[in-house]
Amino acid sequence: MAVRMLLRGDNTVELNEPTTLLSAVGVYVGSLKDTDDAVHNELSRFVGWCGPERDLAGITPSVIGGYADSVAGTGTTPLAAERLQVVRKFLTYAKKKGMIEINLAQHVRIRKPRVRKTQGSQAVDRDEVALTPEGHAQLVTQLDELKSQRVPLAVEIQKAAADKDVRENSPLEAAREQLGQVEARIREIEATLLKAVILYPKAAKDAVVVGLGTVVWVQDVDSGRKSRYTVVSASEANPMDSKISDVSPLGKAFLGKLKGGEAQAETPRGTVRYKILGVS
């Protein structure tokens, strides 16, 4: 907290006014009659994202917009709306109490993700990233988990840096490297979510063509072996869960194929022909 001096006529008035984001949030939380864990958690995320020691005067509309995008990029779910509402209420309070000069609350907007229904292989703009609803939700969860690692890693770096001999400080280097990897992955996921197009497949009764997000049952024509795959985007692919990328040899072979038809894929073991048994 800092002391600001105001001159009013012949009188000098001293006001204790928070100058950092962390102190301002502390004042706001103290003014609330009841707060639940969700409010505390969201304000903590907001402070961690902006930086706890960031000067209030340095928080601009673009900063708020960036945070709103990082949250709203997770979709127009009730959770995203509730999270942004917590931040909006804090900024409204800060403006009302004179902590900030401009109305930053108006820049807390929910970004609506673009949504498409798809059947078959519809084209997606080059600057867009096609995601299934499940893949989108997984990225959102991963993003939250990664952001929760920021503060613990920062504390770890601070502790390691306290060692006077930093020339061979392995813990410090390891913590810095890990934080760098976390930040890089956070940026990657945020960029993906901002460009995401959520593709909802047609209802199962109407799904007769293999497309992104559909489940396809196939049979190897030569061996008779049956398999089940889900065709997803490259960022969602997971062979262990039978999720194949739409740009993989199998994915490309299946896309656009009709139930009852055949597909031919070039695999490491040669050309393989598949019978499309079902699509949903």
Nearest of 144, 174, 141, 140 to residue 157 by alpha carbon: 174
Kindly report, residue by residue over 203-250, the tens digit of the pLDDT.
444 456 788 888 899 999 988 999 999 888 877 888 788 888 888 888
Let me know whether 16 and 87 are in one domain: yes
Q: What is the spatial order of strands in the sheet that 196-201 belongs to?
A: 114-118, 196-201, 129-131
Q: What is the domain-level CATH number for residue 171?
A: 1.10.287.180
Q: Using CA of residue 128, residue 134, residue 139, residue 140, what is the dihedral sign?
A: positive
**Angle formed at CA 20 by CA 16 and CA 22, multiple of 5 degrees:** 105
Domain contains 150: yes
> How much is the pLDDT for 166?
55
Dist. CA 257–CA 216, nearest whole Å: 10
103 within a domain of the structure (yes/no)? yes
Q: Is the pLDDT of residue 122 over 50?
A: no
Joined together, the tokens standing for residue 106 give: 């108006």
Q: What global pTM score does this model have?
A: 0.45
Residue 209 located in a structural domain = yes
On whether residue 55 sits in a domain, the answer given is yes
Q: How many CB atoms lie within 10 A of CB 135?
A: 25
Q: Is residue 122 part of a domain?
A: no
Q: Which domain holds residue 69?
A: 2-107
Give the pLDDT band of residue 275 (cuts 50, 70, 90). Answer: very high
258 secondary structure, DSSP code: B
Q: Looking up tokens 């902006």, which residue turns up?
A: 50
Q: What is the pLDDT of residue 48?
A: 76
Q: Which residues face 70 on adjacent strands?
A: none
Closest C-alpha among 130, 135, 177, 170 to residue 153: 177
Number of domains in the chain: 3
Identify the pLDDT of residue 197: 75
Q: Which tokens belong to 116?
A: 């498409």
The answer to whether 156 and 102 are in contact (CB under 8 A) is no
Is the domain of 157 the same as that of 246? no
In a domain, 91, yes or no: yes
* CATH code of the domain in which 97 resides: 1.10.150.130
Tell me what pLDDT residue 93 has.
92
Of 174, 194, 214, the last residue of a domain is: 194
Q: Is-contact 278 216, C-beta < 8 A?
A: yes
Same domain, 22 and 102: yes
Report the pLDDT averaged over residues 34-61: 79
The radius of gyration computed from the CA coordinates of the chain, to the nearest angstrom, equals 26
CATH of the domain at 238: 3.10.50.30
pLDDT digits (tens, 9 = 90+) for 124-166: 445 677 777 778 888 888 888 888 888 888 888 888 777 666 5
User: What pLDDT sits at residue 51?
Assistant: 74
- Classify 39 as helix, strand or coil: helix
